[in-house]
Amino acid sequence: MLLAIGLFTAGIGTMVFLRTTLVNNLDEQLAQQAAGNIADSVFTMTPIDGQVVFSQIENAPQIGSMVVVYGPDGERKAFYNGTASQTLPELPSTFTVEQTYSQIDRRIELHEGDSGQHFLARVGVLQVNGSSGVYTQMVIQPLATTDRIVAAYIGIYAFVALLILIATALLTRWLVTLAFRNLRQVETTAMDIAAGDFSQRLTDIVPDTEVGRLKTAINAMLARIDGALGQRDATVRQMRRFIGDASHELRTPLVTMRGYAELYRMGAIRSDEDVAQSMERIEKEAIRMGALVEDLLALARLDERRDVTITPLDLRPIARDAALDLRVTSPQREVTVDDTTSRDEIVLPTITLDPLLDAGGDPSTAASRRRAAPTTSAMAIAGATLSRLRRKPREVAESPSPAADAAPAAAPTPPTGVVRTPARIAPIVLGDENKVRQVVANLLGNARRFTGDDSPIGLRVGVDVESDMGWIEIIDHGEGVPEQIRDQIFQRFWRADTSRTRETGGSGLGLSIVASIVDLLHGTVEVVDTPGGGATFRVSLPLADRRDAQEHALIETQPLERLPDGYRPEPTA
């Protein structure tokens, strides 16, 4: 419709312009003829008694104009039709000299009464030899030729405009059909999705078109919807499995306590020894059930994704403190701390197997003291150990001597069990200190639970410069974790060995809590084999100097690279 209106307007405008141009050209031609003595070429002018007699020349040329001569008195004297038109205009019967001078520079329009045909005329002064009077010559041409040209133009223009309209309509229909053919695919896909098939995707995407961009946006929306639905289904399945496992885990200690209570009520438990043993078993089951409930509450809080306090924290004191805590609970176990980021080779504290052995003591003297004090309490041993172990590393790590910086080779020979590492970057990461300590404690508890009482456990901290991550590793030398179950050990209520007892196997929530905390902190946790046997758990967190803490806390998902498949930790000393 707009194209038709535009073509019609353009046709009218060009027609008016064309006719005006043709009429102006004709008027200029008539003005030139009227300015000259054009009557001399078609008439013979003979003066008789002061009057001029006009006679038409035989075989006068076709000058393309009509010529009318008026005398000084205004009377018409002669007429000549030098055109091919048989239609003559209504000529003025008189045309005075005054009219001639007043209209000599004006265009005169004449008409034919019956057909209404238009003529264009110009007047000029005719000089006649032998006569003192002023004659007027009027030159006339019909506008029929101009009208025919304009009519032909209108016909041609209308035909071309009609062809343009038809071609445009066909092209528009083809383009609309092509466009809606792609939209029909969108409609079909939408109907399939409405029927429940969320795996449908749009194809034949041309990104430079509106439909192509629409398809891209719809595919992105479908991917998110499909992912959200899949996540919802997985969450529902996980929740059902979680509820079933939690019910089973809680039912076991409840059944045990109920059994002992029924035995006591029925009189099967009578002696003081049996009562004490039953109360001990009930207490242990209650403690285990309480620990399970605490783990469940911790997981529930982590699932709520509550805000955490993201601050820069150093992994080295966390590793040292965790080693001290582990030494207190397992005094017979060798525990080492490896700092791979120290600037020079520094001496980390040796975890002494004998809490009675001080820095300058003699092993034989300590042995005699041990034999002389068999009733030393565990709390006293823990206090003595913590006081020595917490003092020595801070003095060495925080205030290295200038001599050690200038000449590392001159440093005193460390005792047995000391680890030396080259200098790197400080492992200061972004995280929540309490939650990071909980992660390390859970991993150490897992390593202690599944290794022998005398099996060594190592802690190592370092920095991965390529991924801008600081990491801490828990290294044990137990049975290790088979590769086929490494993705399952972080699931809730999952145990690697179903033959383990519930007292040694735990609730199966420790590593789940680790995975949830690390994910909340936008980090990664990986498990690989320890050289010589065992498992190494690595927890990686973003370095604090590479990212702002507030921006890091707002990140929903952190695209962190996983450890390479061929990664193997270095053996600890």
- The more confidently predicted of residues 103 and 245 is 103
Strands ordered across the beta sheet of 118-126: 76-81, 66-70, 135-142, 118-126, 108-111
pLDDT tens column, 311-321:
899 999 999 99
Q: Taking a C-beta distance cutoff of 8 angstroms, is the pair 18, 150 a contact? A: yes
Q: Which of the pair, 237 or 546, is modelled with greater confidence?
A: 237
Give the pLDDT mean for 70-94. 84
pLDDT at position 493: 65
440: helix, strand or coil: helix
pLDDT of residue 508: 64
Residue of higher predicted confidence among 116 and 11: 11
Average pLDDT, the chain: 75
567: confidence class by pLDDT, cuts 50, 70, 90: very low
Cα–Cα distance measured from residue 213 to residue 437, given in angstroms and rounded to the nearest whole number? 48
Mode of pairing for the β-strands spanning 469-476 and 335-339: unpaired
Q: Which two tokens stand for residue 21?
A: 């141009």
The mean pLDDT value for 246-259 works out to 79
Return d(Cα 428, Cα 544) in angstroms, integer.
6
pLDDT of amino acid 547: 64
Can you spell out the DSSP letters for 361-426?
A: --HHHHHHHHHH-TT--HHHHHHHHHHHHHHHHHHHHHS--HHHHH-GGGSPPP-TT---------
Q: What is the pLDDT of residue 548?
A: 60
pLDDT for 317-353, tens place per residue?
999 999 998 888 888 889 999 988 874 433 334 444 3
Q: In this prediction, what percent of the chain has a pLDDT beyond 70?
A: 75
- pLDDT score at 566: 47
Residue 400 above 90 pLDDT? no
Neighbours of 322 (CB within 10 A): 23
pLDDT computed for residue 81 by the predictor: 86
Q: Give me the pLDDT at residue 457, please.
A: 93
Q: Which residue has the higher pLDDT, 363 or 194?
A: 194
User: What does the pLDDT read at residue 476?
Assistant: 92
Please measure the distance between the N-terminal and C-terminal CA atoms of the chain and give it in whole angstroms.
Answer: 88
The residue that leads in pLDDT, 555 or 463, is 463
- Of residues 378, 320, 394, 396, the one with CA closest to residue 351: 320
Determine contact, residues 516/299, Cβ cutoff 8 Å.
Answer: yes
Q: List pLDDT tens digits, range 15-43.
A: 899 989 999 998 898 888 888 888 888 88
What confidence tier does 164 reach under pLDDT thresholds 50, 70, 90?
A: very high
> Is the confidence at residue 214, as pLDDT, over 60?
yes
Alpha-carbon distance of 136 to 74, in angstroms, equals 8
pLDDT of residue 304: 60
- Please give the structure tokens belonging to residue 349: 């504290």
pLDDT at 573 over 70: no
pLDDT of 536 reads: 93
Q: How confident is the model at residue 181 (pLDDT cuts 50, 70, 90)?
A: confident
Encoded tokens for 476: 């044990």
Which domains occur in the chain, in start order? 36-142 (3.30.450), 201-304 (1.10.287.130), 308-357+383-397+417-573 (3.30.565.10)
Using the predicted structure, report yes or no on whether residue 569 has a pLDDT greater than 80: no
CA distance 342 to 462: 9
Distances (CA, A) of 407 to 393, 425, 545: 20, 20, 30
Token pair 């924290």 is found at 313
pLDDT of residue 369: 36
Which of residues 487 and 91 earns the better pLDDT score? 91
Element spanning 260, H or E:
helix 210-265
More confident residue, 455 or 494: 455
What percent of the chain shows pLDDT beyond 90? 14
| pLDDT reported for residue 452 | 86
What average pLDDT does the segment 53-58 reach? 81
Buried b (16+ CB within 10 A) or exposed e, 269-285: beeeeeeeebeeebeeb
Question: What was the pLDDT predicted at 506?
Answer: 55
Q: In 424-514, where do the E strands start and end?
A: 428-431, 457-464, 469-476
Say yes or no to pLDDT of 403 above 60.
Answer: no
Residue 363 has pLDDT above 70, yes or no: no
